Structure 1
Amino acid sequence: MRAGRLKHRCAFMESQKVKRPGGSIIESWVELGKLWAEITIPTGRIATVADQLQRLVSAEIRIRHRVDVIAGMRLVHQTKTYLIEAALPDNDQTMLRLLCSNVVNP
């Protein structure tokens, strides 16, 4: 049995408004769950696609297809946080290619 390419365990997060005990509402990143991913650095032809996103893309992340993944959400792997710039499905609707940028101060 092979481990496969999806070998990175990531937390999937989205920004939500959360009510604090004092009654104030703040924007906070809430974990929606865990997923398996393949994280790579874009090179060659992929870098050309990244250039169209104003050179923000620093990683390409592949995950199994999900309908709830959109640009603006985050993936966290160990100590690195990635902001999803674009979610591109493959032709078979089995995988998603996420073009992501690093978040410096998550």
Structure 2
Amino acid sequence: MQAGLLNNRVEIWHFHETEDETGATVQQWAVFLRLWADIRHLSGSQTIKADTQTERVKASIRIRFNEKIQSGMQVRYRGEIYQIDAVLHDYQKKTYTDLVCLKVE
């Protein structure tokens, strides 16, 4: 995989348990990995829900092969949050992993 194609620095976030100052267990989002990616917006649509216009933006985010990433995690890039719906690995060559994502509003 050519390094020049991976030109966006992204963060992968995961939901994990931690303790707060009182010792109670809380779940929160935290940075899991920082890596380079190629982000492609595949489609977008607008709908009206509850008298408010909403957008659905689908994206494909390609990274170097990485089996640690799972669906349910998030990709964050320039203030945008993308929910990972599916993780597609290139098991033949083990050069890339595609993340099928939906932009979170």
Q: Could you say whether these structures have the same fold, taking a TM-score greater than 0.5 normalized by the shorter chain as the test?
A: yes
Report what 1:96 is aligned to.
97
Report what 1:23 is aligned to.
23
C-alpha separation in 1, matches of 2:3 and 2:33: 21
Question: Aligned residues, how many?
Answer: 91
Deviation at 1:94, TM superposition (A): 0.9
Deviation at 1:33, TM superposition (A): 2.4
Runs of 4+ in structure 1 off by over 2 angstroms are none
Q: Specify whether residues 71 and 100 from structure 1 end up closer, same or farther in structure 2 by C-alpha distance, changes over 3 A only.
A: same
C-alpha separation in 2, matches of 1:102 and 1:65: 22
Taking only the aligned residue pairs, the percentage that are identical comes to 30
C-alpha separation in 1, matches of 2:79 and 2:42: 20
1:74–1:84 Cα contact (<8 Å) kept: yes
Q: CA RMSD for the aligned pairs? A: 1.8
**TM-score, L = length of structure 2:** 0.78
For structure 2, the residue ranges without an aligned partner over 5 or more in a row are: 44-55
Relative to its length, the structure with more strand (as a share) is: 2
